[in-house]
Amino acid sequence: MQPVGLKAEGVQWNLGELYAGPDDPRIEADLAEARRQAEAFAQTYRGKITALDGPGLARALETYERLSELEGRPSFYANLLFAADTQNQKAQQLVHRTREAATETSNLLVFFALDLIALDDDQVAVLLTAPEMTEYRHYLETLRRFKPHTLSEKEEQVINQKTLTGRSAFEQLYEELTGSLRFRVSVDGHEQDLSDGEVMALLRQPNRELREHAFTVFLETHAQHSLVITSVFNTMFLDHKVECEMRQYDDVVLPTHLANEIAPQTVDAMMQAVERHYPLAQEYFRLKARLLGLDTLKNTDLYAPISAEAEQLTFAQAQSLILTAFGSFNEQFAALAADFFHKRWIDAEVRAGKRGGAFCAALTPTHHPYILSSYNGTSRDVSTLAHELGHGIHYSLARKQKLMNYDAPLVLAETASVFAEIVLTRHLLAETKNPAARRALLCDLLEEIYGTVFRQTALTRFEMAGHQQRRSGQLSADDIGALWLQEQRKLFGDSVEMIPAYRWGWTYISHFIHSRFYCYSYSFGELLTLALFQRYLDEGEAFVPSYMRLLESGGAQRPEQALARIGIDINQPEFWDRGFRVIQGFLTDLQGTL
């Protein structure tokens, strides 16, 4: 079906390559087979890792990878099914069923990572001399960095088991609750029950009163459920505190830094650089107020179109535009993106019950990724689609890696997605001579940068403050709201007036629930990608092969090592200034259109 509507009617992903449906008997068969193989693996290798030579350990790791793929497939399918319709009872049940089964299977395999961590350093050095271990070096080195924070096998199993009724249960509660919400908004005199994606699209409408009304309804609807949402936040904060204490982390962010393979001081330097440049964001907000003819910008005006004639594109038009833009950068880039459209790997239709936001999800190198978004026809929706396709291209290029090296660390995970957005905007700017149209494009770009660099840093500071405050006791909704507004005021200064309902702005951001301290990776990745894009502008086609190799490497190297190969040193504090110079350049270009 060729989609023609603004809301991508009919654009649904085909999950049939995974399973025929939630009742497919292959799901239970795979869960049972994964458990059987896990039991056999444990019988073969438990207590015997120290006796393996290099080739023997490589064979064990290969077997473990195949088992991990089999174990993960049912859960992957269930989560995609649930994201597409959070009110689907069969999907809800399947998420619970696969999560429980995966925990049981994982507990049978806990010993393997623990035994690898416990190996003597000298023995590991010998094992890594075997050619068969070359592709597993990075995995083994990364795993062993968690040695000081690893518990006994029995303790790890207990944590896994209790997670089902603890953290995972509260994550599921939050998703089911927020996914069930509908928002009664008055549009052109007619009351409408809208999804969260449809409400967010209204924030890009020219009618100022409608924008504020829609966002107020959205936030106050969440506030009506503040008892549950506040309880979820408190539980997630406390759960992390307890686990950090058990694992002897002296900083609640350290587990994320270790997973990202990045030094805490590097992240601190990046975030401090962003905060020093908050005035740059405020300069844009004041300019946006001028463009809209306002004395002061409200936070519901941040994404307002500067022209009342905001162009909307059908999904088919967005597809054509994105593929043309990607092709102007690199034909392989465009070809990989085209597969997502032509092979039904995208779910972009706007539907009630669909999970909010957008994502690109991948399971293993042997299977392609999937993209979820809610396409409403706005320019932001086109950019979001390009962003997620960038992730998809990144995953596709990394499919030559082993499973252990497939996923790029979070701080590198945005290097293709943000790059894809900039490629799209640059293509549009090259094709557009009208000053008003160029002005609108530059505003879109700068607002994307605000949302990714500046806003995500403020979100991370809020999250850090929430975890810190929770150490002293239970937080009320007002307590959390005060922490939220504190960080937002630092970001906005006196350049933006926040609407009263914005004190509930923390309630709908699922990253705080699912991925602790994930948000700083957006800031990191955006600034890094801006620097990479400047390299592309400076070097032209000569830059492309090294950039593509960076994407192909997936998670096979630490970020510091992968970037050093293309001449970037992220440990130099001045490195971050390069990204801000690019942002200043875009702001200067915008001022030049006035």
The pLDDT, as a whole number, for residue 352 is 87
* pLDDT for 310 beyond 90: no
Task: Please tell me the number of Cα atoms within 13 Å of 3 on its side-chain side.
Answer: 27
* pLDDT for 456 beyond 60: yes
340-387 per-position pLDDT tens digit:
999 999 999 999 889 888 999 999 999 999 999 999 998 889 999 999
The pLDDT, as a whole number, for residue 356 is 82
Residues in CB range of 504: below 8 A, 6 or more apart: 219, 220, 222, 223, 226, 481
* pLDDT for 1 beyond 50: no
Residue spans of the domains in the chain: they are 25-165
The total of other beta-carbon atoms located within 10 Å of residue 129's CB is: 9
The total of other beta-carbon atoms located within 10 Å of residue 110's CB is: 19
142-190 per-position pLDDT tens digit:
999 999 999 999 999 999 999 988 999 999 999 999 989 999 999 999 9
Chain-centroid distance of CA 126 in Å reads 37
Rounded Cα gap, residues 45 and 155, in angstroms = 20
Residue recorded with tokens 């000081």 = 148
Rounded Cα gap, residues 352 and 358, in angstroms = 15
The pLDDT, as a whole number, for residue 380 is 84
Give the per-residue SS3 of 296-355.
Answer: CEEHHHCCCCCCCCCCCCCHHHHHHHHHHHHHHHCHHHHHHHHHHHHCCCEECCCCCCCC
* pLDDT for 430 beyond 70: yes
Burial string for 451-485 (b: 16+ CB within 10 Å, else e) reads ebbbbbbbbbbbbbbbbebbeeeebebebbbebbb
Average of per-residue pLDDT across 295-313:
88
Say if residues 75 and 343 touch (Cβ distance below 8 Å): no
Torsion of CA 97, 100, 104, 110, to 10 degrees: 130
Task: Please tell me the number of Cα atoms within 13 Å of 63 on its side-chain side.
Answer: 16
* pLDDT for 3 beyond 50: no
The DSSP element (H or E) to which 192 belongs, if any, is: strand 190-194
33-83 per-position pLDDT tens digit:
999 999 999 999 999 999 999 999 999 999 999 999 999 999 999 999 999
- Could you tell me the CA-to-CA distances from 130 to 44, 53, 121, 142, 401 in Å, in that order? 21, 8, 15, 18, 18
Chain-centroid distance of CA 56 in Å reads 36
Say if residues 37 and 108 touch (Cβ distance below 8 Å): no
The pLDDT, as a whole number, for residue 2 is 43
**Average model confidence (pLDDT) for the chain?**
94
Which SS3 state, helix, strand or coil, does residue 593 take? coil
Average of per-residue pLDDT across 440-453:
93
The pLDDT, as a whole number, for residue 573 is 77
At 179, list the tokens: 């996914």
The pLDDT, as a whole number, for residue 190 is 92
Residues in CB range of 473: below 8 A, 6 or more apart: none
The DSSP element (H or E) to which 461 belongs, if any, is: helix 455-470
Q: Which CATH architecture has domain 25-165?
A: Up-down Bundle (1.20)
Percentage of the chain lying above the pLDDT 90 cut: 87
Q: How confident is the model at residue 567 (pLDDT cuts 50, 70, 90)?
A: confident
* pLDDT for 4 beyond 60: no
* pLDDT for 272 beyond 60: yes
Say if residues 174 and 356 touch (Cβ distance below 8 Å): no
* pLDDT for 197 beyond 60: yes
